[in-house]
Structure 1
Amino acid sequence: MAETNPNSVVFPEYLVAFGDAYWVAKYFNDSVVETADFVYGHPYISRIFLRRDIFADLQFDDLRLTQGFAFEDWHLNCELRARGFNFLVAPKTVFFYRQRKGSLLKEANAVSARQIPNASLFDPIKLTRLVTAEKLHKLGDSGPLNSKESARRGNSKEQLLADITCMEMVYAAIQIDPGINLWKIINSGSWSNIFPDQHWGHDYVTACSVVGEGAFTDIVLLPWLNAGGGERFVLDVLHSLAAETEDFR
């Protein structure tokens, strides 16, 4: 798949978490996952497969365990998305992910802000162009195999258990590590990287389209706008400044 699609990042189709916690996750390619989803959350994982030369000028950021930013894999995948890479999923592949009580991921979730540092993807111009190109590419493509609705109807765990090839790999993994408990997999939870149809990642894209290519001279954050309220007075002041100030925006 990687050889056929050189400008792509390839991920496993399934993740089986085992150890301290059990769950099964299924990942879908970017015919289902939108660019806006990368703003809202992390739709993929850190185990990636792509051309070696990509890392000549792109590496994981060193995000130490602090109260600040975290999730260098989410950040790296945002950078890859900003560069126009396609995100593909290799069918019938399973990644086994051991869960530990004191894992780095759990500590990062507990300590950090649970957000990533600024990424190239978040640039208003770049993000707007990517989303526009994405919409044009998907225009008229409403087939059931590429729709979120079709993907959302499936259950990740049940689909894994029903796949003979994947279950052969589960049994092979148990032979390697008896700590993988089939009964707990069968009774585990299920997750997929299909995000809501509308979330604040889409709202950020809308905000970016409003910002456009220019720069603003003044930015005012208001919790709401009431007719005749104090916030309207702030807007009246801004409109007055705009009438008297050259290049006011």
Structure 2
Amino acid sequence: MTDLVLDRLVAHRGRPLFEPVSAALPPGTLLGLVGPNGAGKSSLLSAIVGSGVTSSGTARYGEADLHRLRPRRLAEVLAYMTQDSYAPNELRVRDVVAVGARATPAAGPVDVRTAAALERLDVAHLADRSYARLSGGERQLVQVARVVAQHAPVMLLDEPTSALDLGHQLTVMHVLRRHATDGHIVVVTMHDLTQALRWADQVAVVAGGTVTFGTPADVITPELIHRVYGVTAEVFDSPGGSPTLSLVRPSDPTPATLTRPGPAAARP
């Protein structure tokens, strides 16, 4: 098992988007990247991959510098889903997912992994449908299935639940949590802090040019929520023992309470 090591990694878009990031993510980690729009979460993922953004510093998996790997070798190490992941419209759904499986031939039979990923993401019934005929949420599920079928040791996903209904959000996060538990390194950008509390082992808050790492309980605090989002929040345990956020916008005196299920539900 090998760590993903970030060493003074910075994304640039004419200027540095955040301070240099240095961190070691061991196998079995699900890292949630949270923060306001435009803070640099997606750019941090791109900087890890070494494409789509100018970057400095390094991202290493074992002895391999990810930025120097040829595409075929990189695909054996890292699976990546962007917010606008593309697939030719003429392809069938099963063909899109098989692209991921074919990238890692040593992981097992392509057809078996493709079928398993379709089933796990609840899109097996779409397998023979044209990708062009899918809704936005269906395309998102298919792209997650592609990443799952690839079975790379490092998995990066940019807002994989943003277009999904509640049921499919749970499906996606259960699957990603399972991959982390099985020894993969999973990095997910998300806006829902309750998702980060429930599913992540570690969180990184990207905001104001800084990147703050820690456990969800240590980092997602009322003070940080107010500083980053301008929202007053209370974090407490519900009677059932589930961490709960009660959020109040400065202009809205009525709290909106968000509760995540307890630990038993959080780990499949």
Task: Please report the TM-score for the alignment, with normalisation by the length of structure 1.
Answer: 0.25
Structure number with higher relative contact order (C-alpha < 8 Å, ≥ 6 residues apart): 1
Of Structure 1 and Structure 2, which has the larger fraction of its residues in helix?
A: 1
Of Structure 1 and Structure 2, which has the larger fraction of its residues in strand?
A: 2
Structure showing greater Rg: 1
